[in-house]
Amino acid sequence: MVFMLIPCLTVSSRLLSSLLVSSRLVSSRLVSSPFSRFSYTRANKRDNIVLHSEINLVDSLSVHSRFKRDTIKQNSAGQFMSFPYNKIRQANIHSYKQTSIHTSSIHSFSTLTATPCLFEFKMATRPPLSTVLPPLICGTATFNNQYNADPFSLPTNAIVQRALESGVNAFDTSPYYGPSEEILGRALQQPQILAHHPRSTYHLITKCGRIAGSEFDYSPAWIKHSISRSLTRLHTTYLDVVYLHDVEFVSPPEVLEAIACLRDLQAQGTIHYIGISGYPVPVLCDLAEKILQETGKPLDCVMSYANFTIQNHELYTSGLTRLRKAGVDCVPNASVLGMGLLRSSGVPDNGKEDWHPSPKELRARVQKAARWIEERGERLEVVAIRWGLERWALDGKVGSEPIGVSVMGVSNIGELEETLRVWNSVLDGISLPGRQVEESKKQWSLKRRVEVEELAKGIREILGDYQDYAWASPGEGFGGAIDEEKAGAVSTIKDSGKLADFNFILLSLILLTHYYKVGKHGRIRS
């Protein structure tokens, strides 16, 4: 009789893990679990974070409880770009509360005895994301073979350290960006960063769901595996923001299922904020509205790219109002160069390198605009970057943020320093509480704004009918007819934890980089 009962009482850890994750953990709700008993109690503790436990899934196979006790003081410096910008945000950020954990019956066997016990879980109330993120985010799609032949040879350690020292304390990455997560994770493990920039002082933003150029997996099993892998690569126990990557390529039911999975992980504390990313503004708005309608809870953020540039204003003209009404708190703008379209050198226009989705006529108009602006002593990419950063800072704010949030990527220290110089100059012309600006710098910034606006107006006149043009995404051929030779060699081994030599031609869909070049006119103007 005893032997007959054993199969009934023993359940595989994989099944129990799946049952645990699929259960929605909501505030003050008791959820049956065979693993352990946790009692979460919270009390105010000024200026400190006391963290006792993180619960994470590892490869969707087993549940591990990680216990540590860290007392982390808030960053009192709050410096952003040489001024106390973060203090503006910190005024709205409530100190995290002390958490006490009591544990029992913790198992890590390959099979587990299904002894009933309870989770008592109370979700912490987090401040709005718009009060947390800095207005400039460092994009790391450049830490990838698509843009650099050997991304491991890039000065990424120096880039990350300099960014943090400058107040750029948020990093955007993705498993789809080849080795980007691993490279960023290694950089953040530098002794000097560990000593001066504890985990609580910066934000890690990643994505899930997109695997390769034409391969997506929004299933809960893959989402949990992807998140677990990102945690490992980034050497962290939690992720500040997770996007579903390029949502236009999958069906709305798949998106809703994946959102439910992310919210389960959010309830456990593994993820703090949830959003979606993609290209078509109408699709992003439709999904944001549907998620609010179906779940009763809005997304924290929606990121679009190449939709607020000199060429295309769609994110502002038709997207921002709808996203605000859908309760979205933060709308980061990425790729102010339109995936590299708005550069003096243009985009590749021949053979296998011809990956950009823009039509030939639009490319020709852009090159005509580049020649026109060069005759006036300027460079197209410099004007496009300045205009994109400045206009989105002024027009792109959504929630409690005083200015809009932009994402920019760099490949070397020179590009980072130039980005910081332009960004600081942009901020010189914007009145922000707590920031003192020399009158001469303020006047120069305002004068430059007028100059750039006039140049942008001239560029748009040359673009003609292609003003606010948005290319199709997904493009023709998606769903099995992708030209694999054109798309390049893509590693699609989903379950491998090893990094392959990715050559993602379609990774350009989230181009977060820009190129600064000093031409015949000498030093670049910002």
Is 177 known to be catalytic? yes
Give the chain's domains with CATH numbers: 133-358+389-413 (3.20.20.100)
Judged by phi (left if over 0) then psi (alpha if -120 to 50, else beta), residue 513 lies in beta
Rounded to an integer, the average pLDDT of 267-285 is: 98
Cβ–Cβ contacts within 10 Å for residue 436, how many?
Answer: 7
pLDDT digits (tens, 9 = 90+) for 71-111: 223 333 333 333 333 333 333 333 333 333 233 222 222 22
Rounded to an integer, the average pLDDT of 161-189 is: 98
What DSSP string describes 249-282?
GS-HHHHHHHHHHHHHHHHHTSEEEEEEEES-HH
Residue with tokens 């023993």: 10
What global pTM score does this model have? 0.71
pLDDT digits (tens, 9 = 90+) for 37-75: 222 233 333 233 222 222 222 222 222 222 222 322 333
Rounded to an integer, the average pLDDT of 258-279 is: 98
Tell me how far CA of residue 428 lies from CA of 275, 401, 439, 445, in angstroms: 31, 17, 9, 6
Cβ–Cβ contacts within 10 Å for residue 450, how many?
Answer: 10
pLDDT digits (tens, 9 = 90+) for 311-337: 999 999 999 999 999 999 999 999 999
pLDDT at 501 over 60: no
- Picking from 145-159, 161-175, 450-464, which range would have the lowest pLDDT averaged per residue? 145-159
Say what percent of the chain tops pLDDT 90: 61
- Picking from 112-116, 163-167, 170-174, 438-442, which range would have the lowest pLDDT averaged per residue? 112-116
Closest CA to 303 of 287, 290, 284: 284
Angstrom distance (rounded) from CA 166 to CA 184: 17
The pLDDT value given to residue 479? 59
pLDDT at 170 over 80: yes
Q: Which residue among 177, 202, 279, 516 is the active-site one?
A: 177
The pLDDT value given to residue 526? 56
Bigger pLDDT: 260 or 481?
260
Residue with tokens 């799609």: 141
Residue with tokens 């290694």: 186
The pLDDT value given to residue 400? 82
